Structure 1
């Protein structure tokens, strides 16, 4: 017998909160997240990449207005996450067990982050992969090795920087994974590429997924957010 828990996860490359009008507007990002109403939000480019690499979002407002807290992944006091990768989650619904940084092969300051939740028993990984095919292949192989060590369901989300709908990415992650492409999420002004996507492994399945289209999201960043509703299965004894 199985118990099942549904989970909504959003992935969003917010481009440091700089919209298509070239204004940095963190409030606009907060409003887009309110529209989506996810349990977990995985962000890319969530802080400035110079100086103290300060986070660009109002963390207190996210907690007070939307109920989101940020997984502790930073190595700099003012950063959001690590290398711009951040995970926000609703503390009243999810019990964070562990958060950690995943080192990836790279020529750029990039990496992956992970948050494992005791309830509903799933690990969420946030990624922002490299721009070149060779680096991405090495990064995907490293992520596959990481996931294969897990004894629990895994949901990976992020900006994979893969333009094609097909290709070897799924093969590099192994037959035990499912890659989910919600649709074209880049460029926000004219979406033509499925850069943002999800990967599932273990006792977790897609219920539905979509690209979040709204008038606000079309201006807030150069990427549109992607959303997945997933179902996690728990074996009962």
Structure 2
């Protein structure tokens, strides 16, 4: 049962200045949230193509997107030696936030994150680390869209083909319910159109458009992807190509509209 799975996951705290009145057991119904706008954005540590650390530019790109749910990759999450960029973005947007660190030390926390205009009911971090490679992971979040449950899995896969294959196998095993629509989105780091990683994902989710998002100044590779199950709910998908987005990160944001 979905409710049982929710009860085993970590309840997501609300931002300090936001009162969370919904719960996993009794979501409050309301106005139809569809179509929903979702996005994935690798922010490159908030370092732009000019080499400048500028979280305010990432925040401005989020303003341009006006998305309801955003998956972020390469997010500084605080620590003694770095700025908590997620906290800055949450404060700027007023959205709910959840983090999925893949690297943690007293000096530096770093990884995936989700921002949502709707309450995040519960989260789970999925460890996708592979051997001695850089630690990777996925952030699995349950979001209450005015009483309608949405499951979002935000990820950032590894650079080696064998690494990505193992990570996708682990992710596909995690999709254990049909009780809510599932959106998988993030930076899959797959450079080859017919790589085994993409074939497995298409086999599970069906094919979806894949416009190039990297590098941001002259995009050639479709590294950033959005899939939804059931596929019929994906209405439109496009890259956000503003002048600001081309400098704020080395990836462009990918945006999709999801039907109810």
TM-score (structure 1 length as normaliser): 0.83
- State how far apart, in whole Å, the 2-side matches of 1:55 and 1:156 are: 28
Residue matched to 2:59 = 30
Find out whether 1:194 has 2:218 as its counterpart.
no
Residue equivalent to 2:179: 151
Query: 1:109 — aligned with what?
Result: 135
- Displacement of 1:214: 0.5
> Distance between the aligned counterparts of 2:85 and 2:201, measured in 1?
32
Q: Distance in 1 between matches of 2:257 and 2:199?
A: 24
Give the conservation status (yes or no) of the 8 Å contact 2:129–2:135: no
Alignment partner, residue 8 of structure 1 = 37
1:58 Cα deviation from its structure 2 partner = 6.1
CA distance in 1, matches of 2:246, 2:38: 19
Gaps of 5+ in 1: 233-237
TM-score calculated relative to the size of structure 2: 0.76
Aligned-pair RMSD on alpha carbons?
Answer: 2.8
> Which whole-Å CA distance do the structure 2 matches of 1:53 and 1:115 have between them?
28
1:71 corresponds to: 98
Contact 2:99 2:139 in 1 (8 A): no
Report Cα offsets for 1:124-176 as digits up to 9, x if no partner.
Answer: 11110000001101111111111134532100110000112333234323634
SS at match of 1:38: coil
The 1:203–1:215 alpha-carbon spacing in structure 2 relative to 1, beyond 3 Å, is closer
Contact 1:114–1:126 (8 Å) recurs in 2: yes
- State yes or no: 1:221 paired with 2:249: yes
Contact persistence 2:43–2:74 (CA under 8 A):
yes
Measured at CA, do residues 71 and 85 of structure 1 come closer, stay the same or move farther in structure 2, by a change above 3 Å? same
Per the alignment, residue 120 of structure 2 pairs with: 96
Measured in 2, the distance between the counterparts of 1:58 and 1:124 equals 18
How far did 1:231 drift? 1.4
Deviation sequence 1:69-117 (CA, Å, 0-9, x none) = 212545969999x741011111xxx232211101124222111101111
